């Protein structure tokens, strides 16, 4: 598989955990659910964000024109502005100060490949265009409470590199030896970054991608589960534990990297986020309804999130997108064939 498209693909293998077709065990985690409204399906990698205070980011059209990020909590919301000249904007990440990071593009169609797309940092209500590393496009995926933003940006030679932005400065993060591609997906409070980077491998026709974490600008190769195959780290916590997806010999699986070791969690899906309690959330392909299924992993056990919510809500949780240290999970879910953004909050099972 081409390494760049593999990084963004969302197809997952089946995961053998319980489903709503069978009553969940009494010790299954339980959550109340808050509906933050419907969203349009813009692209597979446009997902909601969550901060440590339980506030979320989603997106909506403004005056039937372009899309804008919305910060939402309880019954309140704040629509963010886009930089001048940009018609659409999306935010993936939200910190505890209410700052956001994402991207904006210059045409009416948010997925127009001919438009210009730039990473955006919304700080104190002002949208800042972060520019690129000399090429056409960039995209921000995460930020921390210190205002460090990470993502990927094009170079003048049309290759792309992971970047870190801080205090007005955009810098490229070094790739792995011989690699021509890298991307950053998450950053913790110490500024340690997780993502993926291509690596030279003469035994395969296409450069594989390895999960990496950057301490400063130098990447640490987290490795793979199968030689010659790929992995990428989507999430990192403040313990420097990383989670993501790795190839097996026949499919893909979720991994946890902790204390120098990459462990296969046995979940045929993708992990997107890990908190400091080592709770992990993600998505996998589901046998029921033909939809994806969101899951939670904690203390060695994986749970379908549809088993963890009140049974009569009507929601089908497709993805656990972010989890904070309070255990709250922002998810994408379906209700009456529409996609909703919902927030799950830990509670006692009634």
Domains of the chain: 3-346 (2.130.10)
**3 state DSSP class of 307:** helix
pTM: 0.92
Under the phi-then-psi rule, with left for phi > 0, alpha for psi from -120 to 50, and beta for the rest, what region is 233? beta
Check: CB of residue 330 under 8 Å from CB of residue 49: yes
* CA gap 122, 106 in Å, rounded: 17
pLDDT of 289 reads 56
Q: Which two tokens stand for residue 181?
A: 């591609």
* CA gap 185, 245 in Å, rounded: 13
> In the chain, what's the furthest Cα-to-Cα distance?
58
pLDDT of 350 reads 87
147-159 pLDDT, tens digit per residue, is 999 999 999 999 9
pLDDT of 290 reads 66
Question: For residues 93 and 285, which has the higher predicted lDDT (pLDDT)?
Answer: 93
8 φ, ψ (degrees, to nearest 5): -95, -10
The percent of residues above 70 in pLDDT, for the chain, comes to: 92
* CA gap 148, 161 in Å, rounded: 16
What is the rounded average pLDDT of the residues 264-276?
96
**H-assigned helices in the chain:** 3-8
161-191 pLDDT, tens digit per residue, is 999 999 999 999 999 999 989 999 999 999 9
Q: Which two tokens stand for residue 225?
A: 């589960």
pLDDT at 307 over 60: yes
* CA gap 58, 39 in Å, rounded: 8
3 φ, ψ (degrees, to nearest 5): -65, -40
**3 state DSSP class of 143:** strand
* CA gap 195, 212 in Å, rounded: 6
What is the rounded average pLDDT of the residues 127-133?
97
* CA gap 275, 279 in Å, rounded: 6
Q: What share of the chain is helix, strand, coil (3-state, %, to 5)?
A: 5, 50, 45
Opening angle at CA 311, ends 308 and 315, nearest 5: 85
* CA gap 106, 132 in Å, rounded: 15
* CA gap 69, 77 in Å, rounded: 10
63 alpha carbon, distance to own chain's centre: 28
pLDDT at 342 over 90: yes
């Amino acid at each position: 598989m081409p390494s760049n498209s593999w990084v963004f693909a969302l197809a997952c293998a089946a995961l053998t955990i319980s489903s709503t077709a069978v009553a969940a065990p009494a010790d299954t985690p339980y959550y109340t659910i808050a509906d933050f409204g419907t969203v349009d399906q813009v692209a597979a990698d446009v997902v909601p964000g969550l901060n440590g205070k339980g506030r979320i980011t989603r997106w909506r059209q403004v005056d039937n024109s372009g899309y804008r990020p919305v910060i939402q909590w309880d019954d309140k919301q704040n629509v963010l502005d886009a930089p001048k000249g940009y018609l659409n904007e999306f935010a993936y990440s939200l910190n505890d100060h209410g700052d956001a990071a994402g991207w904006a593009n210059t045409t009416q169609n948010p997925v127009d490949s001919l438009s210009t797309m730039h990473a955006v940092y919304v700080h104190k209500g002002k949208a800042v265009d972060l520019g690129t590393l000399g090429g056409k496009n960039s995209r921000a995926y995460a930020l921390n409470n210190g205002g460090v933003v990470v993502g990927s940006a094009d170079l003048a030679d049309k290759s792309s590199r992971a970047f870190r932005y801080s205090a007005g400065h955009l810098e490229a993060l070094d790739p792995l030896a011989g690699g021509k591609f890298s991307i950053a997906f998450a950053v913790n409070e110490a500024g340690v970054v997780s993502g993926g980077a291509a690596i030279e491998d003469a035994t395969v026709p296409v450069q594989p991608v390895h999960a990496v974490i950057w301490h400063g600008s130098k990447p640490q190769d987290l490795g793979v589960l199968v030689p010659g195959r790929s992995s990428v780290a989507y999430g990192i916590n403040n313990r420097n534990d990383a989670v993501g997806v790795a190839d097996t010999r026949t499919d893909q699986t979720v991994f946890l990297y902790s204390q120098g070791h990459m462990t296969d969690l046995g979940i045929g899906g993708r992990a997107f986020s890990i908190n400091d309690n080592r709770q992990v959330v993600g998505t996998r392909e589901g046998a029921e309804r033909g939809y994806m299924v969101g899951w939670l992993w904690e203390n060695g056990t994986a749970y379908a999130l549809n088993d963890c919510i009140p049974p009569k809500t009507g929601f089908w949780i497709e993805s656990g997108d972010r989890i904070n240290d309070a255990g709250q999970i922002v998810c994408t879910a379906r209700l009456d064939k529409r996609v909703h953004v919902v927030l799950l909050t830990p509670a006692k099972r009634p």
